């Protein structure tokens, strides 16, 4: 199937051609005809599958055909994070290049002035995070009464991040006569129940299961010790083929520590996580996208919304204890048909997680045995683990005690 077969408005196919999208992705092939047919959609899809175009293109098609340029908000997309909101709005802008349809994006953590100025001028499509949306609705800058298309994006994350009540409040203000599209990376029972409150006779579409890793991604594994991870990372980064790499860290502190170590070796790097301000995060992302940063270190939450087209390398500095997280992480490279390489480094305590991942993805990850920092230690036994935890707690308490004293 090609984009021409989807019967989208020619101004959209023209924009898509310029973006060099040739073949619609699986979710696009499934969802676009349903949305064009004015039916609700329950979509199981994560970022990286082409989900945004799957809803943005048919919505734009309808808006073009409605020909109503009253600049009242007719489409609302609600998404959990600022990064995702910005990306979705950017995609709408790209796809609507040859139309007169306008969009804007609003999110919290920044002053509202420029957002409300833009809203006052009138806009067709609004992309928003829930908190700021409610806030500006409360202040009278936004009315949802003309909405005919509503998209709830990343619903599972929305619930994880505690936005359920906000979304419920938004739903109360939406007209009942509307088309709704609901996307979530995972579909546990509570998400399906939630979707029932929003959708009417939806058609289900599934991009692909989270247990599948794209065949375009080559996966490698290094076994090492906790104490040699840092050196192993430097060793891996000696490979000049790695022009840019996204490194995952389980914790914010861990991410900062990795960056500190890399900087000591003059490796151009920065971290992105929840403790960084909105401006810092945006700047870091831009630096990475513009190739001014070689290494971007991210936590899982911060990274899930990052849309980097040309990323070829992903490195797991720690092995996630949830196997699905591994699938999400390595899905950041090799997107939309590009080649990707994922590298994981496992310390003894993490070897069990590797096993769980291999079980989930249904294959063995290729071990790199030619390397200078091989794993020599064994995972701790129960008694050692207990002592290790005890010692860790003692150190933590000591740290807080000293900090109190200093104050």
Which one of residues 30, 44, 52, 96 is an interface residue with ligand AMP (CB under 6 A)?
A: 52
Q: x/- contact string, 3-22, with ligand AMP (CB under 6 A)?
A: ------------------x-
Counting contacts by CB under 6 A, is residue 335 touching ligand AMP?
Answer: yes
Looking at the Cβ atoms of 230 and 335, the one nearer to ligand AMP is 335
Query: What's the CA gap between 115 and 104, in Å, rounded?
Result: 8
Q: Could you tell me if residue 109 is left (phi over 0), alpha (psi between -120 and 50 degrees) or otherwise beta?
A: left
For residues 211 and 327, the answer to whether their CB atoms sit within 8 Å is yes
Looking at the Cβ atoms of 92 and 373, the one nearer to ligand AMP is 92
Shortest Å, Cβ 129 to ligand AMP: 17
Query: 92-97: long-range contacts at Cβ-Cβ below 8 A with a sequence spacing of 24 or more?
Result: 92/56, 92/60, 92/125, 92/127, 94/15, 94/19, 95/12, 95/15, 95/16, 95/53, 95/56, 95/57, 95/60, 96/12, 96/15, 96/60, 97/15, 97/18
Q: x/- contact string, 98-127, with ligand AMP (CB under 6 A)?
A: ------------------------------
Which one of residues 35, 41, 42, 53 is an interface residue with ligand AMP (CB under 6 A)?
A: 53
Which one of residues 9, 24, 258, 269 is an interface residue with ligand AMP (CB under 6 A)?
A: 24
For residues 333 and 313, the answer to whether their CB atoms sit within 8 Å is yes
Of the chain, the end-to-end C-alpha distance in Å amounts to 66
Which one of residues 15, 34, 48, 245 is an interface residue with ligand AMP (CB under 6 A)?
A: 48
Counting contacts by CB under 6 A, is residue 206 touching ligand AMP?
Answer: no
Looking at the Cβ atoms of 28 and 284, the one nearer to ligand AMP is 28
Site for ligand AMP in 294-333 (CB under 6 A): 307, 309
Counting contacts by CB under 6 A, is residue 380 touching ligand AMP?
Answer: no
Looking at the Cβ atoms of 53 and 365, the one nearer to ligand AMP is 53
* Residue 149 vs residues 64, 101, 127: alpha-carbon distances, Å: 13, 14, 12
Tokens standing for 273?
């996580």
Looking at the Cβ atoms of 6 and 221, the one nearer to ligand AMP is 6
User: Residue 356: CB partners within 8 Å, gap ≥ 6?
Assistant: 323
| Among the residue ranges 45-53, 228-236, 237-245, 383-391, the one whose residues contact ligand AMP (CB under 6 A) | 45-53
Query: What's the CA gap between 104 and 118, in Å, rounded?
Result: 7
Q: Residues interacting with ligand AMP, by CB under 6 A? A: 21, 23-25, 28, 47-53, 307, 309, 335-336
């Amino acid at each position: 199937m090609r984009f021409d077969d989807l019967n989208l408005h020619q101004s959209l196919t023209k924009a898509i051609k310029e973006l060099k999208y040739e073949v619609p992705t699986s979710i696009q092939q499934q969802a676009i005809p349903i949305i064009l047919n004015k039916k609700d959609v329950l979509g199981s899809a994560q970022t990286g599958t082409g989900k945004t175009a799957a809803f943005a293109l048919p919505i734009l098609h309808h808006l073009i055909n409605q020909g109503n340029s009253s600049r009242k908000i007719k489409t609302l997309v609600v998404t959990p994070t600022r990064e995702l909101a910005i990306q979705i709005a950017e995609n709408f802008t790209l796809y609507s290049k040859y139309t007169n349809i306008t969009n804007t994006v609003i999110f919290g953590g920044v002053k509202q002035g420029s957002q409300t100025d833009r809203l006052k001028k009138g806009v067709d499509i609004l992309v928003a995070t829930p908190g700021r949306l409610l806030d500006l609705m409360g202040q009278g800058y936004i009315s949802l009464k003309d909405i005919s298309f509503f998209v709830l994006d990343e619903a599972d994350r929305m619930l994880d991040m505690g936005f359920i009540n906000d979304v419920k409040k938004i739903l109360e203000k939406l007209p009942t006569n509307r088309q709704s599209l609901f996307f979530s990376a995972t579909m546990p029972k509570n998400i399906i129940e939630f979707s029932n409150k929003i959708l009417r006779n939806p058609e289900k579409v599934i991009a692909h299961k989270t247990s599948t890793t794209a065949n375009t991604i080559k996966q490698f594994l290094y076994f090492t010790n906790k104490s040699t991870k840092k050196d192993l990372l430097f060793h891996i980064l000696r490979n000049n083929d790695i022009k840019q790499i996204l490194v995952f860290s389980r914790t914010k502190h861990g991410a900062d520590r990795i960056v500190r170590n890399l900087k000591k070796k003059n490796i151009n790097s920065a971290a992105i996580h929840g403790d960084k301000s909105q401006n810092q995060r945006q700047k870091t992302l831009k630096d990475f996208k513009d190739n001014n940063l070689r290494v971007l270190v991210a936590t899982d939450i911060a990274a899930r919304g990052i849309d980097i087209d040309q990323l070829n390398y992903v490195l797991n500095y720690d092995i996630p204890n949830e196997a699905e997280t591994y699938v999400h992480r390595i899905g950041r490279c090799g997107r939309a048909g590009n080649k990707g390489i994922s590298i994981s480094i496992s310390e003894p305590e993490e070897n069990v997680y590797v096993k769980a991942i291999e079980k989930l993805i249904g294959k063995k990850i290729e071990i790199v045995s030619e390397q200078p920092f091989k794993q020599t230690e064994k995972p701790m036994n129960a008694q050692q683990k207990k002592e290790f935890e005890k010692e860790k707690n003692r150190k933590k308490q000591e740290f807080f005690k000293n900090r109190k004293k200093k104050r």
